[in-house]
Structure 1
Amino acid sequence: MVYSDIEAASRDELRSLQGDRLAETVAYAYENVPFYRDALDEAGVAPDDVESVADVTELPFTTKEDFRDEYPDGLFAVGHADVNRIHASSGTTGKPKIVAYSDDDLDLWREVMARSLAAAGVSEDDVVQNAYGYGLFTGGLGFHDGTEELGACVIPTGGGNTGRQLDMLQDMESDVLACTPSYCLYLAEAAEERGIDPRELPLSTVVIGAEPFTDPMREEIEQALDVTAVDVYGLSEVIGPGVSIECEEAQEGLHVWEDHFYPEVIDPDTGEPLPEGEEGELVLTSLTKEALPVLRYRTGDMTSLTYEECDCGRTAVRMDNVTGRTDDLIIVRGVNVYPSQIEEVMVDLDDVAPYYRIDLFRRGNLDRMELTVEYHEEYGGTHEELEDRIRTVLEDTLEVNPDEIEVVGPGVIDRSETGKVKRVYDHR
């Protein structure tokens, strides 16, 4: 059952709505954001030139560098007096990206998050344990407000404090857990260490996001916790979580709420739009944001789009699970590979746990890759046998040949208790 009728609107109806909203957004950004006025003038595009959604390709891109260059508030379309909330990215690769919300923006966010949770199968009768971090990170408050908008009960546990998470899951019989995929697996491990069978926890659904993951890792989560694992997608520069989500019925791609966010997929090298079904970089344009409208934001996330109607009855375009990021691409001795591709190979091996790390070094003029992998507790062979098997599979599947593969025991690789797990350590 859809939360909003627009989820099942015809393609013609959506295109008409998107065209009207795109024209309004471009005119609004031109009038209120000097950065966009200059960028549009430089591109030779006037607001009146935008007559339909097909004109989106004439607009200039916005990048993460633009957010940093305009730090802290150069992209705001309203004054501070009209800003009701501030969030920010982590800033791990430089200055954080500051994002602003007006009162209407917060209403919009609550609505798309409620819509997302409903698509994931969450109902107003459910108890949702929110283990995303609260604070400047958009995950915690985004899920919190959306859960309340839906009418469900929210437990704001936040990130970390795994012992308390397990207590609340058992004592409050939480139906839904919202957290990163890596934390799901960490929680299952912690439950076993406490003598709790994670499959006996009351959970029926986990809503996972905030980091790329593969279908084999999702299957690992579903088996470990006996749940349905639904992927959610969002980013602070656009709104936060709630841009798109899988439906519980099909789990075949994430429905983009395209009445509010217009998606494109482009060739990351040329910037040219790619056809339906072809993988490239996701670009998003906000259609209804007030405090911080964004035009053609290059997310860096690699995915593809399909417009075929879903089995659930929703007509909203679906994006594939994010397979990696353009800036996560590892190039070692001329071979291109994404960490998610290595993860998929690892998780497909029955004797390997879904935990690994990649260390990159430079020795002289040569790059060096070292891969550390954990074996499953049930594995009965030697480290050398498993290392040889991993090397063979990587060479056959990805043409990747790490300089060193080290197999270690369960729990040796650092876990993340509070947020996104780090897979790649580039020491070059």
Structure 2
Amino acid sequence: MGFYDDLETRSADAREATHVAALQALGVKLGSLAELAGLPVLRKSELSAKQKAEPPFGGMHVGDVAHVFQSPGPIYEPGGVSHDWWRFGRFLHACGIGSADVVQNCFGYHLTPAGMMFENGARAVGARVLPAGTGQTELQVRAAKDVGATTYAGTPDYLNVILEKADEIGEVLGFTKAAVSAGALFPSLRQAYADRGISCLQCYATADLGHVAYESEAMEGMIVDEGVIVEIVTPGTGDPVAEGQVGEIVVTSLNPDYPLIRFGTGDMSAVMSGVSPCGRTNMRIKGWMGRADQTTKIKGMFVRPEQVADLVAKHPEIARARVVASRDGEMDVMRVLIEADGGDAETYAASVVDVLKLKGTVEVVPVGSLPNDGLVIEDQRSYD
């Protein structure tokens, strides 16, 4: 099948040099990508506040775009129609989609951008598109049959709905490929598609950023898109974590029409070591591993990841901290587990009250003993 372009196989040094030059062209004067960590993280809540103050785009730089989309919030996103504006062509090429394919695009075209994102990518690889959207499943089956759809694009589970309806009414469809996103692709579902002769790959994307990372035929993690820079940081901070540690996905988009610098997605993942067996050399992430917003109410007070980060920053010897909420009878209980080589639990307890505004039991635990799951606030209370 080959690669989409030469960018996918360049060296790490060449990739970084190109990205630094792109950032400089956008007015971000950095000498290396490591210096990105010194810039603030842009949160969706901040973007929303900016847009409310100055609609629709909050005063952010927006170039020559063709569409305005609205996502829940509401949050407004610009969209372009120029070649591969959202960068989905790279993912669809990795799925084996090309000019011989007809893509049944079951992402929505109403207000939100997913439908246009995938259509733009399909055009970039020369495929024909059936703009199907969702719903009216029997008509979806009829259209797939009549137009000879070879490829499904949509959420992972809706393809199964179409296939089951086709079985029910006795139609045999020609899908051999599926490009999915915006939901969990469980191994059992992927295997069910494979048993029907359908190769199914997934990507990670957001309405604000467009395409971020994608699976290749190797199906070992998700390869970061060539048009973005991905960092994994401790939730509540902008501090990058070590390779393999779970943290929040922070993305810098190099799209000159709508650049976003260190945009906090609120999603969790981890960097995988090495490169993909498929030969693509960019960094890989493990895919979606939960949400970073762990804000939890304990004893009637909200405890936020940013506060836990402030607690760690208050004591240089602390490696990590984790707040655990549980119940003792009808009362909330808060424990604070602190990874440190020694240290005084009473001093830490005073800092907990100062920073978190709550009293809790402090336990000093060995460095490296807390689970690698990205959680800084763990709620063990049952709400059943």
Task: Tell me the TM-score normalised to structure 1 length.
Answer: 0.64
Equivalent residue, structure 2, for 1:252:
220
Q: Which of the numbers 80, 83, 99 marks the counterpart of 1:107?
A: 83
Equivalent residue, structure 2, for 1:98:
76
CA contact (8 A) 2:101 2:150 kept: yes
* 1:163 has 2:138 as partner: yes
**Residues of 2 paired with 1:115 and 1:261: CA distance?**
13
Q: Secondary structure at the match of 1:325?
A: coil
**Taking structure 1 as reference, are residues 330 and 143 closer, same or farther at Cα in structure 2, changes over 3 Å only?**
farther
CA contact (8 A) 2:37 2:238 kept: no
Q: Secondary structure at the match of 1:148?
A: helix
Q: Secondary structure at the match of 2:108?
A: coil
* 1:180 has 2:155 as partner: yes
Q: After TM superposition, give the deviation of residue 134 of structure 1 in Å.
A: 0.7
Measured on the aligned residues, the alpha-carbon RMSD in Å equals 3.0
Q: After TM superposition, give the deviation of residue 400 of structure 1 in Å.
A: 8.5
The one-letter code of the counterpart of 2:23 is L
* 1:14 has 2:15 as partner: yes
**Residues of 1 paired with 2:383 and 2:76: CA distance?**
40
* 1:308 has 2:280 as partner: no
Equivalent residue, structure 2, for 1:288:
255
Equivalent residue, structure 2, for 1:203:
175
* 1:261 has 2:228 as partner: yes
Q: After TM superposition, give the deviation of residue 305 of structure 1 in Å.
A: 1.9
Unaligned 5+ runs, structure 2: 300-328, 333-378
**Residues of 2 paired with 1:295 and 1:314: CA distance?**
25
Equivalent residue, structure 1, for 2:66:
84
Q: After TM superposition, give the deviation of residue 401 of structure 1 in Å.
A: 10
**Residues of 1 paired with 2:331 and 2:137: CA distance?**
42
Q: Which of the numbers 223, 226, 243 marks the counterpart of 2:212?
A: 243
**Taking structure 1 as reference, are residues 271 and 56 closer, same or farther at Cα in structure 2, changes over 3 Å only?**
closer
- The Cα offsets for residues 111-163 of structure 1, whole Å up to 9 and x where unpaired, read as x2222211111121111111111132111111112212211111111222211
CA contact (8 A) 1:76 1:100 kept: no
The one-letter code of the counterpart of 1:267 is T
**Taking structure 1 as reference, are residues 366 and 147 closer, same or farther at Cα in structure 2, changes over 3 Å only?**
farther
Higher relative contact order, chain-length normalized (CA < 8 Å, sep 6+): 1
Unaligned 5+ runs, structure 1: 28-46, 334-363, 368-398, 405-428
Q: Which of the numbers 48, 65, 75 marks the counterpart of 1:68?
A: 48
CA contact (8 A) 1:265 1:273 kept: yes
**Residues of 1 paired with 2:151 and 2:242: CA distance?**
36
Q: After TM superposition, give the deviation of residue 220 of structure 1 in Å.
A: 4.2
Q: After TM superposition, give the deviation of residue 108 of structure 1 in Å.
A: 4.5
The alignment of Structure 1 onto Structure 2 pairs a total of residues equal to 305
- The Cα offsets for residues 90-126 of structure 1, whole Å up to 9 and x where unpaired, read as 33xxxx11112467xx43525x222221111112111
Q: After TM superposition, give the deviation of residue 274 of structure 1 in Å.
A: 1.2
The one-letter code of the counterpart of 1:98 is Y
Task: Tell me the TM-score normalised to structure 2 length.
Answer: 0.71
Q: Which of the numbers 119, 125, 149 marks the counterpart of 2:100?
A: 125
- The Cα offsets for residues 173-201 of structure 1, whole Å up to 9 and x where unpaired, read as 311100101212322333343345xxx53
Higher share in helix? 1
CA contact (8 A) 2:214 2:224 kept: yes
**Residues of 2 paired with 1:185 and 1:402: CA distance?**
33
**Taking structure 1 as reference, are residues 147 and 53 closer, same or farther at Cα in structure 2, changes over 3 Å only?**
same
CA contact (8 A) 1:214 1:323 kept: no
Equivalent residue, structure 2, for 1:336:
none
**Taking structure 1 as reference, are residues 5 and 277 closer, same or farther at Cα in structure 2, changes over 3 Å only?**
same
**Taking structure 1 as reference, are residues 228 and 83 closer, same or farther at Cα in structure 2, changes over 3 Å only?**
closer
CA contact (8 A) 2:83 2:120 kept: no
**Residues of 1 paired with 2:70 and 2:246: CA distance?**
28
The one-letter code of the counterpart of 1:287 is L
CA contact (8 A) 1:120 1:245 kept: no
CA contact (8 A) 2:150 2:176 kept: yes
* 1:321 has 2:321 as partner: no
Q: Secondary structure at the match of 1:160?
A: coil
Q: After TM superposition, give the deviation of residue 365 of structure 1 in Å.
A: 6.0
Bigger radius of gyration, 1 or 2? 2
